[in-house]
Amino acid sequence: MTEKAFQDYYPDDVSYCYGCGRLNEHGLQIKSYWDGEEAVCTFYPKPYHTAVPGYVYGGLIASLIDCHSTGTAAAAAYRAQGRAMDTEPALRFVTASLHVDYLRPTPIEGPLELRSQVKEIKGRKVVVATTLSVHGEVCARGEVVAVQMPEHLMRAASAARQGQPQER
């Protein structure tokens, strides 16, 4: 894929999340893209992402749904404002609520496909519904309420990264 992932637009100061931070060398570094009106992410679990032999650990599933959904929220907010994702001020979203339903055990073999749809955009809040599938079978579904990071927290992240005292 030649287009940039949603997460590749995050400012450096807020790109260290374990799930979606492109600057976290030990993280999952998920990548999300538009596919029409849905956002899609493909993730290949490693053998150490195991719950029991042959199946993916539920915490990984929750993390993938969480980070893919907040990335989708950011991309949807830019779309709603008619802006490109590389324009200022940067829009970064964090999780206010995460709900995951585990529908069946998730096989570790084969890619995990996440698909998200935006259910609501209202002010600084975006509600995203996400499914996680393997070989076309939905194994989990989640809903994330994502809220836009306030500007003062974006500045605090920048200050912390640069070793400056944080403002409150």
167 assigned to some structural domain: no
Burial 28-45 (b: 16+ CB within 10 A, else e): bbbbbbeeeeebbbebeb
d(Cα 95, Cα 70) in Å, to the nearest integer?
A: 7
pLDDT at position 15 is 93
Give the pLDDT of residue 153: 77
Residue 57 lies in a domain: yes
Residue 166 lies inside a defined structural domain of this protein: no
Helix, strand or coil for residue 138?
A: strand
Query: Is there a contact between 92 and 147 (Cβ–Cβ < 8 Å)?
Result: no
Overall number of domains in the chain: 1
> 1 in a domain, yes or no?
no
pTM of the model: 0.92
The pLDDT score that the predictor gives to residue 168 is 43
CATH number at residue 139: 3.10.129.10
Longest dimension (CA), the chain: 49
Alpha carbons within 13 angstroms on the beta-carbon side of residue 10 total: 33
Is 50 within the bounds of a domain? yes
Residue at 168 is within a domain: no
The verdict on residue 81 lying in a domain is yes
Task: Please state, rounded to an integer, the average pLDDT across all residues of the chain.
Answer: 92
Kindly give the residue spans of alpha helices, DSSP state H, lying in the chain: 58-80, 151-161
Rounded mean pLDDT, 14-38: 96
Range of the domain at 79: 6-161
pLDDT tens-digit map of 89-136: 999 999 999 999 999 999 999 899 999 999 999 999 999 999 999 999
| pLDDT over threshold 60, residue 38 | yes
Using pLDDT thresholds of 50, 70 and 90, give the confidence band for residue 152: confident
How do residues 70-93 score in pLDDT, each as one tens digit? 999 999 999 999 999 999 999 999
> 165 pLDDT exceeds 50?
no
